[in-house]
Amino acid sequence: MSVERAILLIVGVVVLASVLLAVYHSPNWLWLTGLMGAHLIQASVTGMCPVVMTLKRLGLPARAGFG
C-alpha cells in the first residue's frame, strides 16, 4: 500500500465514522467531519500533513507528485 492509498483510506474511515456517530449517537460528531475538511484544505495549501509524514516514517512508499 502506498502513502496515497493509505491517506485516502484513513480520511474515508474518519469521515464515515464521524457521520455514522452523528446519526446514531450525537450530532456533535459532525465537528470531526468539519475539522477533517478544514485539514484537507490546509494540507492542500501548505503541503504539510502530519499523517503523511507518519506514514512515510513507517516506511510506506510514496509515488511521485505527492508530498
pTM score above 0.85 = no
Q: What is the pLDDT of residues 19-52, one digit of tens each?
A: 999 999 999 999 999 999 999 999 999 988 898 8
Place of cell 512508499: 61
SS3 (DSSP) at 48: coil
**Distance in angstroms between the alpha carbons of the first and the last residue of the chain:** 16
Q: Give the C-alpha separation, 50 to 32, whole Å.
A: 17
Q: Give the C-alpha separation, 6 to 60, whole Å.
A: 9
Q: What is the mean pLDDT of residues 42-65?
A: 87
- Residue 7 in contact with residue 55, Cβ under 8 Å? yes
- 67 has pLDDT over 60: no
- 66 has pLDDT over 70: no
